[in-house]
Amino acid sequence: MTNLLNNYLSGQWQTGATAVHTLFDPVTGEALATTGGAAPGLKEGFTFARTEGARALQAMTYAQRATMLSEAVKLMQGKRDEYYAISLANSGTIKADSGVDIDGGLFTLGYYAQLGMALGEAHVLTDGAAAIMSKDQLFQSQHVMVPIKGLALFINAFNFPSWGLWEKAGPALLSGVPVVIKPATATAWLTHRMVADVIAAGILPAGALSIVCGSSHGLLDALTPFDVLSFTGSADTAALLRSHPAVARESVRINIEADSLNSTILGEDVAPGSAAFDLFVDNLVRDMTIKSGQRCTAPRRALVPKQLFHAVAEATAGKLAAIRVGNPRNAETMMGSLVSRAQYDSVQEGLVKLKTESSVLFDGSAQPLLDADSKSACVAPTLLGIRDVDQSKLVHEHEVFGPVSSLLGYRDTAHAIEIAHRGLGSLVASVYSEDPALLAHAAHELAASHGRVHLVSPDVGKTHTGHGNVMPASNHGGPGRAGGGEELGGLRALNFYHRRSAIQGSSVALAELTKSASPYTV
């Protein structure tokens, strides 16, 4: 018998729904849980969140809300084994990959709890110093940031059911903004369990946290002008969201993270067998295979000097050949499955498309799967290659969301940077070099089209956080094709959930307003 993942709206669980969607184990095909169809009572549930949830949250100080986040982290840390079991069954991930999602989400939530404690017993944030607007210096203007008078709706992707929730909900709840989460149906079980655990513990006030599983029908229709919407997913869906009247006419603030053809670049100063060379290859293989390549930050294009093309291909293929793919229940499995057969089919279709303009440098599909068969969603890593990249097109346009990357040859650093820009906006680019000047130049040139630039030299070889890892202190998001959004970045994440207003008046009145405020400094 499977679990029915009920919706939680208006401070109560909605029971009695008819099962419409089924969640499966992507390795065994076992039915795990079900969700219903369109959620009843959305408008009422959203109103409850905006009134009851927001009122209770915004009556608290930043430090009080931070304490709630800390309590939620402690609660969920005690249930990690349960979450790992759900992740293995529903997402097909090995333990280390589940940790990226589960522990990464809890770490991020704890990080925002710490930031909130530093903001103290304030209800208002001041942004900069007051500006003098009169000769006698009495009439002044002070920018302040206050929580929005609405809710935050999160429509999340399937690949991070834990981290995708908490990296958004942490800054929102700390800001005093109630959250409604719509997880991707295919992997909604883990999100649902975490939300249910926090609700059952009574850590948050009623209306502060709601969840809608199953159909997204009617979600945007229930939004009002002071709400915010954050979406992670495909560019096609993002375009539909942007055209919805709530966004296009009522100016609902929207943050989008969409498709991203990220690059990792091996500097032209690097020699085969050097520390930087080995770091590049090791991290390329790691980022290709973590969560079976199902990370929005995974490097889809690996740029190398033409003279090193074959050396990099051989070294990368050798390491990919050691990756054992299969059932995550098998202790020898190093890479689990994709989250569903639908994603498996999508990866296969994408490979066919990319192969029309590239050669196959490594294909792991000849190796037998561990404790899994051809009906599973397991897919082996694949390294494609284009030595002369100037005439290529698809590799800069089509993302295969799995353990797939394309090796691209470049002539010089300027050429490498130009190739990276062809992605038309990406979440991250990484550069591996032993030359500080090359690294600095590449960072300057890449920053305009990338939300994050990750520089790796041998001196940080053991301490850097990784091309694909999103750390809460750094910005996450990217321009253009990547969606144009921004998340995290320390206190910068609070921008999305606050309204900046210029308060003009007597210095005496402004002093009264800001005496219990905390300065907003990043």
Active site residues: 257, 296
Give the sign of the dihedral formed by CA 35, CA 40, CA 43, CA 44: negative
For residue 103, count other CB atoms closer than 10 A to its CB: 17
Q: Which residues contact 278 (CB under 8 A, 6 or more apart)?
A: none
For residue 3, count other CB atoms closer than 10 A to its CB: 14
Q: 3-state secondary structure string, 266-315? A: ECCCCCCCCHHHHHHHHHHHHHHHHHHHCCCCCEEEEEEEHHHHHHHHHH
Contact in structure between 7 and 13 (CB atoms under 8 Å): yes
Closest CA to 77 of 169, 176, 192, 198: 198
Q: DSSP code of 340?
A: -
Distances (CA, A) of 57 to 172, 326, 436: 10, 45, 47
Using the structure block, give the residue that is written with the tokens 């097909």.
92
Closest CA to 36 of 1, 11, 3: 3
Give the distance, in angstroms, between the CA of residue 7 and the centroid of all CA atoms in the same chain. Answer: 23
Where b means 16+ CB within 10 Å and e means fewer, 34-60 reads bbbeebeebeebbbbbbebbbebbbeb
Tokens of 345: 């089919």
Tokens of 481: 């094709």
